[in-house]
Amino acid sequence: MISQYPHILKYDLVTAGEPYTDENGDTVIPYGTTTTFELKCRFEPNQKGETIPTNDGLQQNYGWMVYFPLPQLDIPEGITIIGYHGEKQIASGTVKRYSTGQLNARVWV
């Protein structure tokens, strides 16, 4: 049987706690909490050398297009992701763009 989403994408997201004032009146910014996300997906290599346009009118290269089923959490741009097929690492990189469509969500890495 063919699986539409045979891969796993993993990334860590650090969420900061709320700043507060201690007993001396100093502002304290607590350490963030790291959460690891694991999402079912499908990695497809950019074999044609396609590019994506940036806000300043330039073109940016990407190595992988990653597809996810809906509904999907927004994946922040600029974070580092790692792709796995079973236990084997198949890809890694930085998220360049995220998009949610009608049928799936996509990430350019």
Domains of the chain: 7-108 (2.40.10)
Amino acid at 83: G
Estimate to the nearest angstrom the gap between the alpha carbon of 12 and the chain centroid: 9
In the structure encoding, which two tokens stand for residue 41, read together? 């997906």
User: Please, what is the average pLDDT of the chain?
Assistant: 84
Burial of 38-60, coded b for 16+ CB within 10 Å and e otherwise, reads ebebbbeeeeeeeeeeeeeeeee
Q: Is residue 38 pLDDT above 70, yes or no? A: yes
**pLDDT value of position 40:** 92
Per-residue pLDDT of 64-103, as tens digits, reads 899 988 887 788 888 899 999 988 999 999 999 888 888 8
Average confidence (pLDDT) over 20-38? 79
Average confidence (pLDDT) over 24-34? 77
